[in-house]
Amino acid sequence: MGQNMSNRPLSPHLQIWKWGPHMLVSILHRVAGDGMALVGLPILLWWLSALASGPEAYATFTDHAMSWYGIIVLVGISWAFFSHMCSGIRHFVLDMGAGYELDINRIFSIVSIGTAIVLTVAFWAGVMWL
């Protein structure tokens, strides 16, 4: 058994792969989706129940949402949404068979990350102006 094991090829692992923006986008896609599911959904349900429960419950929600930690959570959720959306568009293009060339894939990955940041900043600039 030991002799057969030594002839088998090793599975690729993190010491072999070179990190690139495409790997970062893939990881952020998963983190953003999990973040929206595990953090965003409970906050959405809390907001909806506070909205339905009356002015006192809604005031409690807005007190927490407009606090320093609430703003950080809401900005994080909005970034997760835009990041997941941009990465999803990237994956959609890849599923169509385009963008697999290394240079184009790298550029599209960087654009995906940058666009998510720009959209988050633009969204919050719009929220703060209203």
Task: Identify the CATH number of the domain in which residue 120 sits.
Answer: 1.20.1300.10
Secondary structure class of 101 (helix, strand, coil):
coil
Task: Report CA Rg, the chain.
Answer: 21
Determine whether the annotation assigns residue 84 to a binding site: yes
Residue-level pLDDT at 86: 97
Mean pLDDT score across all residues of the chain: 91
Residue-level pLDDT at 127: 94
Residue-level pLDDT at 45: 98
Does 5 map to a domain? no
Q: How many domains does the chain have?
A: 1
32 versus 8: the higher-pLDDT residue is 32
Does 60 map to a domain? no
pTM of this structure:
0.84
Does 62 map to a domain? no
Does 122 map to a domain? yes
Instruction: Tell me the residue range of the domain where 80 lies.
Output: 20-37+67-129
Does 93 map to a domain? yes
Residue type at position 2 = G
Does 96 map to a domain? yes
Residue type at position 20 = G
Number of Cβ atoms within 10 Å of the Cβ of 68: 7
The structure tokens listed for 81 are 């949404």
The structure tokens listed for 28 are 């952020």
Contact 78, 39 (CB under 8 A): no
